[in-house]
Structure 1
Amino acid sequence: MKKKFSGLAIAQHTVLAAMCLIALFPIYWMVNSSFKNESEIFTSSLIPLEPIFSNYTYAFEQMPIVRMMFNSFGVASLLTLSQLATGLLAAYALVRWRFRGQGFIFALLSLTWLIPFQAVMIPNYVLVNQLGFNESLIGIVLPFAVSTFAILSLYQSFNSFPRVLIEAACIDGQSDFGILTRLILPNIKSTVASLGIILFINGWNEYLWPMLITKKMENAPLQIGLRMFVNSDTNMWGSMMAATAVSCLPILLIYLVLRRQIVDSFVRFGIK
C-alpha cells in the first residue's frame, strides 16, 4: 500500500510541476525576450545570446510607466474603497431593516449582476462625457462605484451575524453606524479583507472601460498604456516585452506580501 501511495503521490506532484512550468513559461519568455535585440527576439533561444538593456531604457523614454503605475494603483484602490463602502451600507440596510419590497430589491440586485457591462457601456459613456470626467480617474471609477458582487457577498456575512447582538446594541443606545463599525465589522474583518483583495485585483485588471475613457498615455492605466505603445511601435517587441515585464512588478510584489490572504480570498469567494 505504501508503494502504491508513493507512486500516486509522485505522479500527482509530477503533473503539478508540469502545470506550474506551463503557467510560468510565458512569464519567462516575456522576461527573456525583453533582453533580446530585434534580430534575436524571434529565435527559439531560451536565453539571450547577447543581452541588452536598451529595451528598458527605450520603454521608459517612450512611456510614462511610473505615472501609469500610479494610475492603475489609484483606480484599483478607489474602486476597492468605493465598492466596499457602498457594499457595507447596502448589505447592512438589507439585513438590519425589514420593509415592503425588500425581496424585490434583493432580486433586482441579483439580476443586475447578470447584465453584461457591454449592455450599459454606451449610456455610461454618454453620462461620463457629459459630466466632463473623460481622461480622469473619476471617470473610470464612477460607473463601478457600486458592486453587486460586494453587496451580495457582504449580505451573506451580515445575515449570519446574530441579530440578538444587534438588538442588544440598539437597546444600549448604539446608532446604526456605530453598530456597523464597532460591532459587526470587527467580527467579519477577515471577510471584508478577503473581499477587498478580490475587488482590488478586479480593479487592477479592468481594461475595456478605461480604454474608452482615456486617450492619452499619461492618463491611462498600465494595460491601456501598453496597448497604445503597441499601436505606436508595432515592431518594437523587445521594448514591449520590457514594458510588460515592468508593469507586472507591482502586482507581483503585492502578491508576495499578501500571498496567504490572496489564496484565502479565492478560496472564500471563488474566482469571479
Structure 2
Amino acid sequence: MGNPSGVRRGLASLTLKHAALIALSFLAVFPLYWMVVTSLKPEAEVFTSSLLPAHWTLDNYVSAWNSIPMGRMLLNSLGVAFAQTATQLFTAILAAYAFTRWEFRGSGLLYGLIGLTWLVPFQVIMIPNYIVISGLGWRDTLLGLIVPNIASAFAVMQLFNTFKSFPKTLIEAAHLDGASDWSVLWRTIFPNLRASIASIGILLFITAWNDYFWPLLVTTKLENSTMQKGLQMFISSEGSMWGTLMAATTLASLPVLVLYLVLQRQIIDSFVKGGLR
C-alpha cells in the first residue's frame, strides 16, 4: 500500500502545476481572443468590457479592407517572407556545411564574427543598408526589402550544430563512392536533416513576417510595402480606429496562426532544440 499522505501531496503538487499552466495559457491566449472580439464589435462597443459583442458586425473588416490595399500588402508580406526564408536557409546551409566539413585557417574566427553579428541589433545597421539600397535604386521595391536579409547568423549557428551532429562516416562513404561535396550536401545530408531545417525555416518565416522597422524605412507607397506597415495607418494623433485596427491585425495574423496550427509540432521542436543548444 502506498503512503496516503504522499499520494495527497503528489496530487496537490500536480493540481498546482496544472493550475499554473492554465493561468499562463489564459494570459497568452486572452490578448488574441480580445483582438478578435474587438474586431467584431461596432464602434460604440469597442471600449466596453463585455467579453462578447452585444451586436456582431463585420463592418470593421470591410473598412479595413477598403482603407488600405490589404490584398496587395498581404501578398507582399507572403512574397517577402517566403523569399527571405528561402535565401536565408540556402546561404545558411552552404555556410554550415563549409564550417563543419572543411578545416581552414581562421574558420573559428570567421564563425565567431558571424555569431557576433547576431548580437548586433538590426536597427544599428539600418541606415548603412538604407544608403546602399537607395544607391541601387531599390527603394519602394520588394528587392529592397529582401536583399539586405538574404543571410541570417541565427540560421547559420543553428544549422552548424545540426550539421556537426551528422555522422561523418556517411559523408566519407559518399565520397568513397565518388560523390562531390555538392552531391553529399544535397543528396546525403539534406534529406536526413530535412525536419531540423524545416523547423528553423518556420522561425525564419515568422521573423520575416513580423518585420516592421525595415519596411517602414524603405517603402513609402502602401502598395509596395508589407502588412505590418499597413497597420500603422489606423493609428493617428487624432484618434485610433481600434475596431478597424483589430480587424486588420486579425487578418495580418491569420497566415502565421494557420502556419502554427499546421506545423505546431515542428515549431515547438525548433524552440526546444534551440534552447538545448
- What amino acid does structure 1 have at the position aligned with 2:192? N
- What amino acid does structure 2 have at the position aligned with 1:185? F
Secondary structure at the counterpart of residue 66 of structure 1:
helix
1:54-77: CA deviation from partner (whole Å, max 9, x where unpaired): 111111111222222211111111
- What amino acid does structure 2 have at the position aligned with 1:220? S
Q: Which residue of 2 aligns with 1:89?
A: 94
| Kept in 1: contact 2:85–2:205 (CA 8 A) | yes
Determine the C-alpha separation between the residues in 2 that align with 1:255 and 1:107: 32
Is the counterpart of residue 10 in structure 1 residue 52 in structure 2?
no
Secondary structure at the counterpart of residue 43 of structure 2:
coil
Secondary structure at the counterpart of residue 83 of structure 2:
helix
| Kept in 2: contact 1:34–1:242 (CA 8 A) | yes
1:247 to 235, 248, 252: 252
1:181-201: CA deviation from partner (whole Å, max 9, x where unpaired): 011112211211111111111
Q: Which residue of 1 aligns with 2:261?
A: 256
Relative distance call for 1:67 and 1:232 in structure 2 (3 A) is farther
Q: Which residue of 2 aligns with 1:56?
A: 61
Once the 2 structures are TM-superposed, how far is the Cα of residue 233 of structure 1 from its aligned partner?
7.8
Once the 2 structures are TM-superposed, how far is the Cα of residue 235 of structure 1 from its aligned partner?
3.6
Q: Which residue of 2 aligns with 1:211?
A: 216
- What amino acid does structure 1 have at the position aligned with 2:22? A
2:81 to 68, 76, 86: 76
Cα RMSD for the two superposed structures: 1.8
Determine the C-alpha separation between the residues in 1 that align with 2:268 and 2:238: 37
Q: Which residue of 2 aligns with 1:194?
A: 199
- What amino acid does structure 2 have at the position aligned with 1:23? A
Once the 2 structures are TM-superposed, how far is the Cα of residue 124 of structure 1 from its aligned partner?
0.3
Determine the C-alpha separation between the residues in 1 that align with 2:145 and 2:196: 26
| Kept in 2: contact 1:217–1:228 (CA 8 A) | no
Once the 2 structures are TM-superposed, how far is the Cα of residue 53 of structure 1 from its aligned partner?
2.0
Determine the C-alpha separation between the residues in 1 that align with 2:112 and 2:181: 24
Q: Which residue of 1 aligns with 2:3?
A: none
Once the 2 structures are TM-superposed, how far is the Cα of residue 166 of structure 1 from its aligned partner?
2.1
Residue ranges of structure 1 left out of the alignment (5+ in a row): none
Secondary structure at the counterpart of residue 39 of structure 1:
helix
Determine the C-alpha separation between the residues in 2 that align with 1:88 and 1:254: 23
| Kept in 1: contact 2:195–2:266 (CA 8 A) | no
Q: Which residue of 1 aligns with 2:148?
A: 143
Determine the C-alpha separation between the residues in 2 that align with 1:19 and 1:155: 34
Which stretch shifts more, 9-18 or 224-233?
224-233
1:20 to 13, 25, 31: 25
Determine the C-alpha separation between the residues in 2 that align with 1:33 and 1:42: 9
Q: Which residue of 2 aligns with 1:47?
A: 52
Secondary structure at the counterpart of residue 55 of structure 2:
coil
| Kept in 2: contact 1:80–1:203 (CA 8 A) | yes
Once the 2 structures are TM-superposed, how far is the Cα of residue 259 of structure 1 from its aligned partner?
1.2
1:171 to 161, 167, 176: 176
Q: Figure out how many residues of one structure are paired with residues of the other and give that number.
A: 271
TM-score (normalised: structure 1): 0.93
Residue ranges of structure 2 left out of the alignment (5+ in a row): 1-5
Relative distance call for 1:9 and 1:175 in structure 2 (3 A) is same
1:53-112: CA deviation from partner (whole Å, max 9, x where unpaired): 211111111122222221111111111110110011111112222222222212221222
Once the 2 structures are TM-superposed, how far is the Cα of residue 244 of structure 1 from its aligned partner?
1.2
| Kept in 2: contact 1:195–1:265 (CA 8 A) | yes
1:216-250: CA deviation from partner (whole Å, max 9, x where unpaired): 22222111110123249844221111111122211
1:4-27: CA deviation from partner (whole Å, max 9, x where unpaired): 211221221112112222222212
